[in-house]
């Protein structure tokens, strides 16, 4: 990793810490208003990256390039530029193509592949004045939920270094939680933004599938893949959403904790059946706090077979589309490898998983008939059941604990216990699968800490294309619950 750090004799250690604690919107305002320079801010973040290098949150940081870009941003501001993200460094998951910076997708064989184009979302933040701070570590091919990478190292949770971050956007979550960057672009297919956001204590926003551009981002499933963002506040997610979608800014959303009139649903039978007691207790306390703030929170039942339905549907689509999605991506973007070569080079446990569920003829592969049933029968049925809450009963969102437990230990990430039951790490996505199955927007908010000091997340899932309403609601709920400061 090239992580050249430039010293700044004019910036004190307390100022460095203050810079590292800034959120995205606050940093953009401070640079635009002349309260700090992009160069001083970038210098502080590069130092923060060095002090947290043991987290393995980044695969690539070109410190010299970051500082040069920051100096150019300061010159642009002096000349009158007012771009919304001018001079603000942002992390980017290493599944996004980035001009001039390697894009490895977590693979050793692509360690030195340097694209000649930017993913559309990267282009959008650059056009808004942002700097690409570096490429975040991730699970190989975004295929995993804990943050383990054979080549680039296990990403460690900034809240407790012996714990996983969640995945696959592991480095993105860790870098925001550690104050290295104010925000990072990630990807979410079955929970790869919301799971690590929950385990690391940051905000993770998954837009409605298709709302944010996916071109230039290594895929898993064209039906389920979504690009999105990690940040320290909902305000920062609102700003990134406006930049990436190009939509006109909505009316300013006040940080108002009054939830009077907000109808919220939760499904205890589906989302509290297999959760650690501490997570359930915290969730029920959050529900009480939202009710005290004026919200009307009511219970729903999505059906005895709902969890089995979303598991079968979502994982079946996920695995069936992987080979075709990756092969097409490699071809379209002239990436110097093949699906077969990637498969042969995977770490043993992941290669075995692909052999079982991804390769045609694998013992666990989804047949064409089952895949069509998932798309044309099961997904509409899932949406119909969710609409009982959204349409029939007028819920703005469905609430649940984002993950059924706090971050498992790194040593036990293959198999661990939830509520006394041994599970695999796939269980970390038990609650995020619901929104993924039909493309709903979802957001994970910090909801407090366990007795051991580990973050607990609250997920809000909203109707299709109601992203702005979801973000407004999330900001109100955030005003009730508060945010989790970075680990400096």
Catalytic residue among 38, 142, 175, 192: 192
Residue 192 falls in the annotated catalytic set: yes
Choice among 38, 93, 175, 444 that is catalytic: 93
Spot the catalytic one: 38, 142, 168, 184. 168
Contact 138/94 with Cβ under 8 angstroms? yes
User: Distance between CA 238 and CA 23 in Å, rounded?
Assistant: 12
Can you tell me the distance from the alpha carbon of 432 to that of 171, in angstroms, rounded to the nearest whole number?
19
Active-site residue flag, 367: no
**Residue 104 annotated as catalytic:** no
**Residues classed as catalytic:** 93, 168, 192
């Amino acid at each position: 990793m090239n992580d050249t750090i430039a010293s700044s004799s004019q910036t004190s250690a307390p100022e460095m810490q203050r810079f590292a604690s800034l959120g995205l919107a606050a940093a953009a305002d401070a640079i635009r208003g002349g309260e700090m320079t992009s160069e001083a801010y970038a210098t502080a973040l590069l130092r923060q990256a060095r002090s947290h290098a043991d987290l393995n949150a980044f695969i690539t940081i070109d410190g010299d390039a970051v500082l040069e870009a920051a100096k150019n941003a300061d010159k642009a501001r002096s000349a009158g530029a007012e771009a919304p993200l001018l001079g603000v460094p942002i992390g980017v998951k290493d599944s996004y193509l980035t001009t001039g910076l390697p894009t490895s997708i977590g693979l050793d064989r692509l360690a030195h592949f340097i694209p000649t184009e930017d993913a559309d979302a990267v282009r959008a933040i650059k056009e808004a004045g942002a700097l690409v701070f570096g490429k975040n570590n991730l699970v190989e091919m975004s295929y995993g939920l804990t943050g383990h990478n054979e080549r680039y190292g296990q990403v460690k949770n900034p809240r407790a270094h012996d714990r996983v971050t969640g995945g696959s956007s592991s480095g993105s979550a860790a870098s925001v939680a550690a104050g290295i960057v104010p925000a990072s672009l990630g990807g979410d297919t079955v929970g790869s933004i919301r799971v690590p956001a929950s385990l690391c204590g940051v905000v993770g926003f998954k837009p409605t599938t298709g709302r944010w551009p996916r071109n230039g981002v290594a895929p898993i499933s064209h039906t389920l893949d979504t690009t999105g963002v990690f940040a320290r506040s909902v305000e920062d997610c609102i700003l990134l959403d406006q930049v990436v979608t190009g939509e006109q800014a909505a009316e300013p959303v006040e940080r108002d904790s009054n939830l009077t009139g907000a109808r919220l649903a939760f499904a205890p039978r589906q989302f509290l059946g297999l959760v650690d007691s501490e997570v359930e207790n915290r969730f029920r306390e959050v529900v009480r706090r939202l009710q005290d703030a004026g919200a009307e929170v009511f219970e729903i039942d999505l059906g005895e077979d709902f969890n089995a339905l979303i598991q079968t549907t979502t994982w079946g689509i996920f695995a069936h589309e992987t080979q075709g999605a990756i092969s097409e991506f490699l071809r379209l973007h002239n990436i110097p490898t093949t699906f077969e070569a990637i498969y042969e080079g995977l770490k043993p446990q992941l290669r075995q998983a692909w052999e079982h569920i991804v390769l045609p003829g694998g013992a666990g592969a989804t047949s064409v008939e089952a895949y069509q049933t998932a798309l044309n029968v099961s997904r509409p049925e899932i949406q119909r059941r969710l609409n009982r809450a959204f349409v029939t009963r007028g819920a703005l969102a469905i609430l649940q604990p984002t993950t059924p437990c706090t971050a498992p230990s790194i040593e036990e990430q293959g198999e661990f216990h939830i509520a006394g039951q041994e599970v695999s790490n796939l269980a970390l996505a038990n609650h995020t699968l619901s929104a993924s199955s039909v493309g709903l927007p979802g957001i994970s908010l910090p909801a407090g800490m366990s007795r051991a000091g580990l973050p607990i997340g609250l997920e809000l899932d909203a109707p299709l294309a109601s992203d702005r309403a979801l973000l407004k609601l999330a900001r109100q709920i955030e005003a009730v619950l508060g945010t989790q400061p970075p680990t400096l």
